[in-house]
Structure 1
Amino acid sequence: MAFKIKINLNLHLLLLFLITAVCLALASKDPELKQCKHQCKVQRQFDEQQKRDCERSCDEYYKMKKEKGRNYESEEEEEEEEEVENPYVFDDEHFVGQIETGEGKIKVLQKFTQRSHLLRGIENFRVSIVEANPSTFVVPTHFDAEIILFVAQGRGTITVIKEKRGSFELKCGDVFRIPSGAPFYFINKDEHRKLKIVKLLQSTSVPGHFQTFQPAGGENPESFYTAFSWDLLEAAFKIPRDKLERFFKQQKPGTIIKASREQIRSLSRHEEIIPKIWPFSEGETERPFNLLKQHPCQSNKFGRLFEAYPDEFSQLRDLGVAIAFANITEGSMVAPHYNSKSMKIAVVLDGQGGFQMACPHLSSSSRRSGRWSEREEERKGERTYQKIRGRLSRGVVFVVPAGHPFSVFASPNHSLQIVCFEVNAYGNTKYFLAGKENIVNKMESIARELGFNTPGREVERMFKQQEEEFFFPGPNQQEHEWADA
């Protein structure tokens, strides 16, 4: 009887120890196998067989834990591999919010940090594209976001309500600022052509998120008035509930609706109602300006670049955002360069081409492992670069962080038109890596010689061969080859 009690006691002790060993294993993460076995050996109440059983249990537990960890890491690596594949280029599948009616559509690009934490510098910005069919009306709304819009195609009239109502004509190339919270609506007054608008939104409530608020509507879109109780609305409007219900629950056919010729003509009649003369000069700062009517900052037979900076245009000033439009002729390219401070958000309006960028965050080793570890690279004293590639076509969005060398080129048979929003534009400088104004040509001869470990004259010949500035003849490739760039 005493022998059985002793066996049972030993079994209980063994079970208790195994539980303790497992807990220690969990707490100490992976060096615990050796410790687990050591604990088995030093237990005086265990005989030799029990010690062997205990060590075998350690092995089985460790094997199970390691296998589970490998499966988890494999899944995690697959997810991160997708992230590092190319976190800087966005196409149709990355537009997550979309409103579509028979008269047009509005689509919103996903939050940048949803794609990659490397883009957290522009977490507070979103991109939206609006397309309205001919002779249509986009219903009144306001956003909890500052908006800079660029008219990519067509012509219309936009009305914004601040202290007073202001209505302005919009045409291709116009840039316009809509303050956060200001109600606005617009029309496509062209009877034959779509109105296409690209918007950059900077959220003012929740970083990277914005909401639309619409006063008019039924079920689609819903009016924000209906969120209030009927007794509150009765008191606010001094109108009986039954009339309010009928009024606010009328079904609307969507955010973008057809308008008659007479309605379009009436809404167009009120353009530019803000006085232009002193002392009403404040109205001048609110008017659209046309980017394409500015003097191009770069122009030759290979392309043209128009830019507007916040220190020159009051509509951009307090946001610190610059806007640019590039038209690259077929078969041409933009000089490899980088921005010192600004982060570029570019939207392809038309054409086809390619994009390449040097990225130190996604080195070849991190790409293979599916992990980005800047700290590990710094510890090893290594810095390698991954060539980021992207195909460019209408609707594609790509991002270029500050300091990252990049270039864009048009395909041999198509020109390329791009509108760019540059965040953090104050004090930004473009540094060119090739062409007439490249940075190497501005170095002393001995600095070039030491830096490239090549005689100074040879370095000079290499970097002075290209005499064009900013826009060059592009890569000499066949049509099927550029698409892989």
Structure 2
Amino acid sequence: MEVDGKQGGEEKVGGSDCETSIFILNKFKKVIKSEGGEVKVVSGYRWKGDLNPMHIGFVSMEPNTLFIPQYIDANLILFIQTGEVKVGWIHKDKLVEAKLKMGDVSVIPAGSAFYFINVGNDEKLRMICSINAAGTSGWKSYQEYEESYKAWSWRKLLNSIIGKQWRKGGRVHSPEPYNLYGNEPSFCNDYGSSISIDRRQYSPLKLTGTSIYFVNLTAGSMLAPHLNPMATEYGIILKGTGIIQVVFPNGTNAMTAKVRAGDVFWVPRYFPFCQIASMDGSLEFFGYTNIGEKE
């Protein structure tokens, strides 16, 4: 079954009680929706002349479904929220393949045609991906760009999907993914843990100008107020409920919002902020820091 179908449309998603705040991104655009799954994207806010905010994409796929080959002229940083997926893409005339599981982070380079197959056993696949808006024209079906690719590139993708073998040296494996759940946290105590990775811990990130973080707060705990003087931060609530507070650089309150699973927030550089888990359970969130420095 293919993930293909109707396109377009916007909806508000998430549980924030602060819908008017620009620091909660809740206008999701449905790019594709069908019986096999859906793709939706939320766009970053253009802040103080920032012409290239990050977009966040959400991909869900039912068991035994194929996400037909697509093209996007941006680096995709994938995070597997649930399930398992086989990923294939063509980069520099080579077919690159990877099998990813829950917690894995992987990078698909800009300008690659790619596909996804849900290979989990009766489990729905959920992925989150960052899309750097600089120079991008959005999600496009591979067919819309096929004239810019050699015909054999298209055949390579199809042969890989249906399991055919082709000449030696035509297929390469991607760098090993980085698993956020399987590596030691950067910081850990009785109130929670956090992990942050950049190009030093995971070399494929050097192409993106982006770093990644994951935080788990125990019930009633708070991530102490902090700010980022170098980059804008984006976050997605994965589990639980809590509060996010953002303060203007002059010290006045910018936002205090209740959040729950599915909410997306962002914080400009120099804005102090903190996250607080509710007393009902732990709060987990994952996100991207748009550093902007690429190699």
Q: TM-score range by the shorter chain?
A: 0.7 to 0.9
Q: 1:142 matched to which residue of 2?
A: 71
Q: Which residue of 2 aligns with 1:371?
A: none
Q: Secondary structure at the match of 1:339?
A: coil
- Please name the residue that 1:107 is paired with: 40
d(CA) in 2 for partners of 1:405, 1:122:
22
Partner of 2:120: 190
- Unmatched segments (≥5 aa) in structure 2: 1-17, 152-159, 165-169
Report the CA distance shift for 1:337/1:205 in structure 2 as closer, same or farther (over 3 A). Answer: closer
Root mean square deviation, CA, Å: 2.9
Which residue number in structure 1 is paired with residue 268 of structure 2? Answer: 401
Q: Distance in 2 between matches of 1:425 and 1:329?
A: 32
Distance, in Å, in 2 between the alignment partners of 1:195 and 1:212 is 21
**1:340/1:190 Cα in 2 relative to 1: closer, same or farther (>3 Å)?**
same
Q: Distance in 2 between matches of 1:189 and 1:141?
A: 18
* Higher strand content, 1 or 2: 2
What is the CA–CA distance in structure 1 between the aligned matches of 2:41 and 2:98, rounded to whole Å?
24
Corresponding residue pairs, total = 261
Asked if 1 retains the 8 angstrom alpha-carbon contact of 2:63 and 2:123, the reply is yes
TM norm structure 1: 0.49
Query: Match of 1:256?
Result: none
Q: CA deviation at 1:398?
A: 0.6
CA pair 204-85 structure 1, distance change in 2 beyond 3 A: closer
8 Å contact from structure 2 (residues 43, 54) kept in 1: no
* Shift in alpha-carbon separation, 1:292–1:265, aligned structure 2, 3 A: farther
Amino acid across the alignment from 1:298: F
> How far 1:326 sits from its partner (Å)?
0.9
Match of 1:343 among 226, 229, 232: 232
Q: Give how far 1:311 is off.
A: 2.8
Structure 2 contact 70–141 (Cα < 8 Å) conserved: yes
Shift of 1:358: 0.7
Aligned-partner Cα distance in 2 for 1:296–1:189: 28
Output aligned runs, 1:23-34, within 5 Å.
none
Aligned-pair distance for 1:339? 1.6
- How far off is 1:291 after superposition? 2.4
How has the CA–CA distance of structure 1 residues 111 and 174 changed in structure 2, closer, same or farther, with 3 Å as cutoff?
same
1:385 aligns with 2:252: yes
TM-aligned CA deviation for residue 319 of structure 1: 2.2
List runs of 5+ in structure 1 lacking aligned partners. Answer: 1-82, 216-222, 229-235, 238-262, 268-272, 276-282, 361-382, 427-485
* Stretches (4+) displaced over 4 A: 263-267
Give the drift of 1:85.
4.2
Shift of 1:191: 2.8
Structure with bigger RCO (C-alpha 8 Å, 6+ apart): 2
Q: Distance in 1 between matches of 2:78 and 2:115?
A: 13
Q: In the alignment, which of 47, 57, 60 is matched to residue 128 of structure 1?
A: 57
1:312 partnered with 2:247 = no
Are the equivalent residues in 1 in contact too, given 2:70–2:139 (CA < 8 A)? no
Residue 188 of structure 1: how far off its partner (Å) = 0.9
Alignment partners' CA distance in 2, 1:89 and 1:401: 12
* Equivalent residues of 2:30, 2:38 under 8 A apart: no
Name the amino acid aligned to 1:302.
Answer: Y
The answer for the alignment partner of 1:421 in structure 2 is: 288
Matched, 1:213 2:169: no
C-alpha spacing 1:345/1:192, structure 2 compared with 1 (3 Å): same
Partner letter of residue 69 of structure 2?
A: P
1 CA distance for matches of 2:32 and 2:141? Answer: 14
How many angstroms apart in 2 are the aligned matches of 1:148 and 1:104? 20
TM-score (normalised: structure 2)? 0.79
CA pair 301-425 structure 1, distance change in 2 beyond 3 A: farther
Deviations 1:122-166 (A, max 9, x none): 724211100111111111111021111111111111011122112
Paired residue type of 1:137: L
- The aligned residue for residue 15 of structure 1 is none
Aligned pair in 2 of structure 1 residues 166, 314: CA closer, same or farther (>3 Å)?
A: same
Distance 2:247 2:216 in 1: 23
Distance 1:122 1:401, change over 3 A: farther
Helix, strand or coil: the match of 2:185?
Answer: coil
**SS of the residue 2:121 aligns to:** coil
In the alignment, is the contact (CA less than 8 A) between 1:146 and 1:204 conserved in 2? no
Matched letter for residue 191 of structure 2: F
Residue of structure 1 equivalent to 2:10: none
Contact kept? 2:71, 2:142, Cα under 8 Å: yes
The answer to whether the 8 Å contact 2:52/2:132 transfers is no
Structure 2 CA distance for partners of 1:265 and 1:328, relative to 1, 3 Å? farther
Compared with structure 1, are the counterparts of its residues 111 and 421 closer, same or farther at alpha carbon in structure 2 (3 Å cutoff)?
closer
User: Aligned partners of 1:213 and 1:265: how far apart in 2?
Assistant: 19
Match of 2:244 among 355, 375, 380: 355
Q: Secondary structure at the match of 1:191?
A: coil
Instruction: Give CA deviations for 1:51-76 in whole Å, capped at 9, x if unaligned.
Output: xxxxxxxxxxxxxxxxxxxxxxxxxx
Distance 1:309 1:425, change over 3 A: farther
> Which residue of 2 is the match for residue 440 of structure 1?
none
Aligned to 1:96, which of 14, 29, 37?
A: 29
User: Take 1:324 and 1:291, find their aligned partners in 2: how far apart are those partners?
Assistant: 9
| Other-structure match for 1:59 | none
How big is the shift at 1:97? 3.5
